[in-house]
Amino acid sequence: MNLNWKFWVPTCVHVGRKVVTRKSGIFQGLGRRVFIVTGRRSSKENGSLDDLMDALQEQGLRFIIFDEVEENPSFTTVERAAQICREFGADLVVGLGGGSPMDAAKAVAILTLNPQLSAEDLYDSSNYTTALPVVAIPTTAGTGSEVTQYSVLTNHEGQKGGFSSVLAFPKHAMLDPRYTLKMSRDLTLSTSVDALSHAFEGLLANTSTPLSDTLARDAIDKIKSALPKVLESPDDIQLRFELLLASTEAGMVIAQTGTTLVHAMGYPLTTFKGLKHGMANAILMVPVFEHVAKTEPERVRKALASFKDVEELHRFFDEVGVHDVHLSVSEKEAREWVQRVTKSRHIRKTPGFFTEADLVRIYLSLETTR
């Protein structure tokens, strides 16, 4: 057991139906001019943007909406948003949506107060010491970004990578499960298995801590129980609430532990193969567990939590539809991706020993068209 550790989530988490309007005073306490960062459609369709605008109007706050955040937000998008945010004179940024708008909001909050920086400069946190406060309102249940210091952006070459800064921790997170009711089956699945991978990876990581392990186990139990049911009953608010809570718990886990090789290997599958982030993690989870188990079976047993063994996890993924994805990976692609993966910090957090050949073999094992 790791005897030297800390647990730190400086985000105040508010939970419940209509929490955004019930707790509108929170916005008033943080600023007068609010920059809302969101995606193009979902926050308009799930009622969250209306609730947020009502809350801000009730408090007499001025706001503008930047609704151009794409899936896997680009450097260009966050730089443009920061320019608009600065010109508006915002003193508060609200990230509303899934992981992409929340991650973009964090980048915008830093870039706005540091006009000399480009998005690339965010990756060295010694470049900046100030940021606007961020309030995060998740409308999916998976990323956990509402309680983390991470922001994953896509660079000019189309590669995904995360930066980390304590300034990126949201001041407040507001969790209302009603916003997640409208998620499609595919989005429900991909976001839930992203949260599940955060919990597994937090337990597996060399950086795991006793307190994050407790949250991770609880998140795994919740997702294991609620996900198969919610795929059958998408309108069940209680199940949606369980998944949202699990996602936030798993976010708190990776805020302490970081993610592992699974995430590092998953990024190219999203960038180059168009796989949803959560699905990329999920299809890698079993082969990575199997490889670590060759040298450190105890670590894998611990990380599986309430799953009896890797086979049970495999069956669970089969049942919910993770293995329905179609993927083709060539040896040339796998070798290129591995060059990047071996340089990532994730590999140091992953127990077991992975050679480049092991990583190539894992990528090739995902091929579903052979």
Q: In angstroms, what is the minimal distance from the CB of 281 to Fe ion?
A: 6
Q: Return d(Cα 76, Cα 80) in angstroms, integer.
A: 6
Q: Return d(Cα 196, Cα 199) in angstroms, integer.
A: 5
Q: Return d(Cα 208, Cα 253) in angstroms, integer.
A: 8
Q: In angstroms, what is the minimal distance from the CB of 268 to Fe ion?
A: 14
Q: Are 264 and 274 in contact (CB under 8 A)?
A: no
Q: In angstroms, what is the minimal distance from the CB of 263 to Fe ion?
A: 6
Closest CB to Fe ion among 72 and 165? 72
Closest CB to Fe ion among 103 and 194? 194
Q: Which residue has the tokens 């994730």?
A: 346
Part in contact with Fe ion (CB under 5 A); list of ranges 21-29, 41-49, 191-199, 286-294: 191-199
Question: Does residue 146 touch Fe ion according to CB under 5 A?
Answer: no
Q: Return d(Cα 21, Cα 57) in angstroms, integer.
A: 10
Q: Which two tokens stand for residue 85?
A: 């945010």
Q: In angstroms, what is the minimal distance from the CB of 194 to Fe ion?
A: 4
Q: In angstroms, what is the minimal distance from the CB of 146 to Fe ion?
A: 13
CA angle (73 as vertex; 71, 74 as ends), nearest 5 = 135
Q: In angstroms, what is the minimal distance from the CB of 176 to Fe ion?
A: 22
Measured on CA atoms in the order 246, 167, 204, 335, is the torsion positive or negative?
A: positive
Task: Give the interface size with Fe ion as a residue count (CB under 5 A).
Answer: 1
Part in contact with Fe ion (CB under 5 A); list of ranges 45-53, 187-195, 210-218, 305-313: 187-195
Closest CB to Fe ion among 56 and 275? 275
Part in contact with Fe ion (CB under 5 A); list of ranges 19-27, 63-71, 188-196, 218-226: 188-196
Closest CB to Fe ion among 114 and 151? 151
Q: Return d(Cα 21, Cα 37) in angstroms, integer.
A: 18
Residues 25-54 within binding reach of Fe ion (CB under 5 A): none
Q: Return d(Cα 26, Cα 92) in angstroms, integer.
A: 11
Residues 78-107 within binding reach of Fe ion (CB under 5 A): none
Closest CA to 63 of 42, 41, 84, 40: 84
- Closest residue to Fe ion: CB criterion: 194
Q: In angstroms, what is the minimal distance from the CB of 99 to Fe ion?
A: 7
Closest CB to Fe ion among 36 and 102? 102
Closest CA to 131 of 151, 147, 108: 108
Closest CB to Fe ion among 38 and 100? 100
Q: Which two tokens stand for residue 233?
A: 């009953």
- Listed as own residue / partner, the contacts of 306-314 with beta carbons closer than 8 Å and 24 or more positions apart are 306/217, 306/220, 306/221, 306/224, 307/220, 307/224, 310/286, 313/285, 313/286, 313/289, 314/286
Q: Return d(Cα 260, Cα 94) in angstroms, integer.
A: 28
Q: In angstroms, what is the minimal distance from the CB of 170 to Fe ion?
A: 17
Closest CB to Fe ion among 148 and 165? 148
Closest CB to Fe ion among 194 and 249? 194
Q: Are 122 and 165 in contact (CB under 8 A)?
A: yes
Among 51, 146, 176, 194, binds Fe ion (CB under 5 A): 194
Q: Are 189 and 175 in contact (CB under 8 A)?
A: no
Part in contact with Fe ion (CB under 5 A); list of ranges 42-50, 192-200, 227-235, 356-364: 192-200
> Which residues would be at the binding site for Fe ion (CB under 5 A)?
194
